[in-house]
């Protein structure tokens, strides 16, 4: 008899800074074959460090980030971790990504700072 384990994750954005983070998690087992896990990380100051919109997106994705993150590149990855596109951030605290040439699906953006460290990762859907 084959059994399947379905695991659902809910991830919005994760940011790595010098701030302290609070973690809340809940687990609900409604079916012996299904496990539902909901984990979120929030900045204790209440400020979101990265915002993306619209989500889902059609041809452009707007990314707004806190200036203390010092973002230099934004890379788009598909679900298997392959780099689909890379955008350079020259200045400011926002970027408009042209995703018109990316096929429909679920993707991640990885924001990298001036030292080459990953500052945040966010998930978005391309319609």
pLDDT of residue 5: 56
The dihedrals phi and psi of 68, each to the nearest 5 degrees, come to -70, -15
CA distance 41 to 79: 21
CA 36 to CA 15: how far, in whole Å? Answer: 23
pLDDT tens, position by position, 99-114: 999 999 999 999 999 9
pLDDT computed for residue 101 by the predictor: 95
Domain range annotation of the chain: 6-43, 50-126
Bridge-based pairing of strands 94-98 and 83-88 is unpaired
Q: For 78-91, what is the mean pLDDT?
A: 95
The CA distances from residue 23 to 14, 40, 65, 109, in Å, are: 11, 6, 21, 22
- The CATH class that applies to domain 50-126 reads mainly beta
């Amino acid at each position: 008899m084959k059994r399947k384990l379905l695991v659902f994750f809910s991830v919005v954005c994760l940011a790595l800074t010098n701030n302290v983070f609070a973690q809340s998690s809940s687990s609900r087992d409604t079916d012996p074959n299904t496990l539902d896990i909901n984990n979120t990380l929030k900045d204790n100051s209440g400020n979101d460090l990265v915002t993306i919109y619209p989500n889902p997106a059609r041809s452009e994705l707007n990314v707004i980030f806190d200036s203390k993150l010092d973002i230099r590149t934004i890379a788009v990855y598909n679900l298997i971790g392959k780099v689909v596109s890379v955008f350079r951030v020259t200045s400011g605290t926002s970027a408009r990504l042209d995703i018109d040439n990316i096929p429909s699906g679920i993707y991640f953006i990885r924001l990298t700072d001036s030292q080459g460290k990953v500052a945040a990762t966010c998930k978005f859907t391309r319609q």
